């Protein structure tokens, strides 16, 4: 059984991509097979795993809009995760898909075609609530929302949850919100915890523990083409992602909630 997780937040810079790369590497350490899908035309995930998009002849764009077989495009990375890479061409996919019937289901179709090859498929969403994010949510079993715990960070959460609600209503009634992952977390202040508690209460969201600490080590990892789990094995950040990944494994084993399985 494949568990498909969308990592989404329309705000940029909240550590979506860093979380996808780090959780992917942590799940590989736990013995799981993992496919990461770069759904952001900026291709930051692809870059950060050591692949230069300019060197690629085919990418996720060809899979989503031209019917190219994902298995022919997926590459293996030094981190041990498989990657369906993106290039800037993906920016056109939004427009190309806009007029396409069934566009919300394109990512789901790709994952279904892969059968049970992977234990986990993790989708790195772009910083918008456009076609690609909706297609990712349509394909997902769960959505994880990285959140930087600052005073104004809740402003987009309601909008994201509205989109999740629409997806549940129209394209994926089984989608579950797995919760927020606190990122860029400054544990020295009470402020971050207060913001986190307020957001989780206001929107009735679970918090996936532990918060990922803000540390300079993260700036170094992408340049090395590896996740922080390899570049700073014993750093607080790497340990936090390992623990969060173990909690996601437990979350994936939880029976589905009544609310979302009700037909």
Can you tell me the distance from the alpha carbon of 111 to that of 109, in angstroms, rounded to the nearest whole number? 5
State the nearest-atom distance from the C-beta of 44 to ligand ADP, in Å. 5
Nearer to ligand ADP, 58 or 128 (CB): 128
Based on the shown chain and the rule CB under 6 A, indicate whether residue 4 belongs to the binding site for ligand ADP.
Answer: no
Report the residue from 47, 120, 178, 218 that binds ligand ADP according to the rule CB under 6 A: 218
Based on the shown chain and the rule CB under 6 A, indicate whether residue 212 belongs to the binding site for ligand ADP.
Answer: yes
State the nearest-atom distance from the C-beta of 235 to ligand ADP, in Å. 10
Report the residue from 5, 6, 15, 143 that binds ligand ADP according to the rule CB under 6 A: 15
Can you tell me the distance from the alpha carbon of 72 to that of 64, in angstroms, rounded to the nearest whole number? 13
Does residue 59 contact residue 73 with C-beta atoms inside 8 Å?
A: yes
Based on the shown chain and the rule CB under 6 A, indicate whether residue 36 belongs to the binding site for ligand ADP.
Answer: no
Q: Which stretch binds ligand ADP (CB under 6 A): 9-17, 62-70, 111-119, 135-143?
A: 9-17
State the nearest-atom distance from the C-beta of 50 to ligand ADP, in Å. 15
Residue numbers of the site for ligand ADP (CB under 6 A)?
12-18, 44, 127, 183-184, 212, 214-215, 218-219, 237
């Amino acid at each position: 059984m494949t568990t498909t997780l969308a990592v989404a937040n329309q705000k940029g810079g909240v550590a979506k991509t860093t979380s996808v790369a780090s959780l992917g590497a942590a799940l590989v350490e736990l013995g799981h097979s993992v496919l990461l899908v770069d759904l952001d035309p900026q291709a930051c995930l692809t870059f950060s795993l050591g692949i230069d998009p300019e060197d690629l002849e085919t990418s996720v764009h060809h899979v989503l809009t031209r019917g190219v077989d994902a298995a022919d495009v997926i590459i293996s990375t030094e981190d041990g995760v498989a990657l369906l890479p993106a290039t800037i061409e993906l920016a056109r996919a939004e427009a190309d898909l806009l007029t396409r019937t069934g566009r919300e289901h394109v990512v789901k179709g790709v994952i279904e075609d892969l059968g049970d090859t992977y234990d986990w498929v993790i989708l790195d969403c772009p910083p918008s609530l456009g076609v690609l994010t909706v297609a990712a949510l349509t394909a997902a079993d769960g959505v994880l929302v990285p959140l930087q715990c600052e005073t104004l960070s809740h402003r987009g959460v309601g909008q994201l949850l509205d989109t999740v609600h629409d997806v549940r209503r129209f394209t994926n009634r089984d989608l579950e919100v797995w919760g927020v992952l606190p990122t860029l977390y400054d544990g020295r202040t009470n402020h971050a915890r207060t913001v986190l508690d307020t957001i989780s209460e206001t929107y009735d969201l679970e918090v996936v523990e532990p918060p990922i600490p803000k540390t300079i080590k993260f700036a170094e990892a992408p340049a090395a083409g590896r996740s922080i789990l390899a570049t700073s094995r014993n750093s607080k950040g790497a340990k936090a992602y390992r623990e969060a990944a173990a909690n996601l494994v437990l979350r994936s084993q939880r029976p589905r909630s009544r609310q979302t399985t009700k037909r």
